Amino acid sequence: MNYTESMKYFNSFGRFGIHLGLSRTTKLLELLGNPQNDFKSIHIAGTNGKGSVTAMVSSILQESGFRTGRYTSPHLDDFRERIVVNGIPISREALRSLVGRVKPLIREVERGDSHPTFFEVTTAIAFKHFSEKKVDYAVVEVGLGGRLDATNVITPEVSVITNIGLEHTDVLGKTIGSIAGEKAGVIKQGIPLVTAERKREALEVFERICREKDAEFIPLSKNASYKEVRCDLTGCIFNLKNRKRKYTHLKAGLLGRHQIENAALSVLVAELLGIREKVIRFGLQKTKWPGRLEIVQRKPLVVMDCAHNPPAMRILRNSLKLFSYDQLILVIGIMKDKAIGDILKEIVPAADMIIINKPRLERAAEPEVIKKEAEKYGKPIKIMEDVKRSIRYAKSIAGKKDLILITGSIYMLSEARAKRRSERLAQ
């Protein structure tokens, strides 16, 4: 199979949907020689912020001289960016080769169980790639939940849970406590847990499971304090004091005040790994994570952000204070399985004009459904079902001092950026 044929075969796994469980991944990895045991790892779960923390910890490890793998999902520009070593996405040839080697193993797994899902096969390929590239560390982002997520076959050096929110309630449970229990499944015997979560209901679950597993429990709220010095369009400077060190004027290179907490959490992780202060500083400052308050154009100002649930949208609205603009033109598309009304409640009041679109996905919400919720706020609304046309229209009506905000779903952002993919990730 050539690369195109390999990806077509690989993408066909999407028809198997989401089926949480570890048996298929475990069997597939056994057939591959258990590559997940060939490197150290950091396991990162949470509702929001886990991608940013994954990027920060990866940057710090790489800055320290470690050969570093990074596994994240979903992708923004190209599938290959899910599987990265030292900032370089897996090559087309390596991916093609791995798909070819995994194909016969999938049939063997299927005979004894059921067909592995898209995410399970992706996870196995990522771990095999990291093994063959001889990474020292892999920073692994959980896909969904934690306990039964395909990534939960690793035994990390540190487990991380960024925070807990009411998302995927049909799978993870309808209360903070039940969702915390699922995410706490990443906690391993004797392995420290670092968390930025502050809700008592979730913290009680984490603390109990840490006691049961003799794992050190390290909540950020009790082990560190931080204070913003300055946040602008170059990042945030802050002071941090924790149980080991006192840092002055750390800089988080990612935009937004919420990244201070993510950075403080990443510092705790780095300290547990014995990384020096100077390296931590440079690693945080150099972190890049596209699609998160990303400025893609000026005059008019165009910003893309992957916020796709109410807490993330609330953070995004607060982050708009970083920008100076006359009017806010909101370009939005949302998946139908999300809390559409609650998402719009957080961002629509800040907008002067709303342009609704529909990404080319079965999961995408119909624009009329979004419009019905958005009409509650009395703002001008226009439906442009095609994502690219919606952005072109926004630019056509925007003044030079206006802000066009493109948000609501990583899948919508991916469509919006399609024109740039070949330039950014081509080999």
The gap from C-alpha 45 to its chain's centroid, in whole angstroms, comes to 9
What's the mean pLDDT in 240-256? 94
Amino acid in position 195: T
Q: Sorting pLDDT into bands at 50, 70 and 90, what band is 110?
A: confident
Instruction: Identify the sign of the CA torsion 186, 263, 243, 270.
Output: positive
Q: Which helix (H) or strand (E) element contains residue 84?
A: strand 83-85
Q: Is 252 helix (H, G, I), strand (E, B) or coil?
A: strand
Q: Sorting pLDDT into bands at 50, 70 and 90, what band is 421?
A: very low
Q: What is the pLDDT of residue 7?
A: 81
Q: What confidence tens digit (pLDDT) does each residue in 266-308 have?
A: 999 999 999 999 999 999 999 999 999 999 998 899 999 999 9
Q: What is the pLDDT of residue 176?
A: 86
Q: Sorting pLDDT into bands at 50, 70 and 90, what band is 224?
A: very high
Q: What is the pLDDT of residue 158?
A: 98
In order, the DSSP letters of 146-169 are STTSTTTT---SEEEE----S-SH
Domain ranges of the chain: 3-286, 294-425
- Asked whether the predicted pLDDT for residue 169 surpasses 90, the reply is no
Q: What is the pLDDT of residue 424?
A: 44
Q: What confidence tens digit (pLDDT) does each residue in 304-356 have?
A: 999 999 999 999 999 999 999 999 999 999 999 899 999 999 999 999 999 99
Percent of the chain whose predicted confidence (pLDDT) is above 90: 80
Q: Which helix (H) or strand (E) element contains residue 217?
A: strand 217-219
Give whole-number Cα distances, 169 to 179, 198, 264, 271, in Å: 8, 20, 28, 34
Could you please state the CATH topology (level 3) that the domain comprising 3-286 is classified under: UDP-N-acetylmuramoyl-L-alanine:D-glutamate ligase (3.40.1190)
What's the mean pLDDT in 261-265? 97
Residue 132, CB-side half-sphere exposure with 13 Å CA sphere: 16
Higher-confidence position of 37 and 178: 37
Average pLDDT, the chain: 92
What's the mean pLDDT in 214-235? 96
Angle between the 23-31 and 92-112 helix axes, to the nearest 10 degrees? 120
CATH 2.70.70.10 fits 294-425, yes or no: no
Q: What is the pLDDT of residue 422?
A: 42
Q: Which helix (H) or strand (E) element contains residue 420?
A: helix 418-425
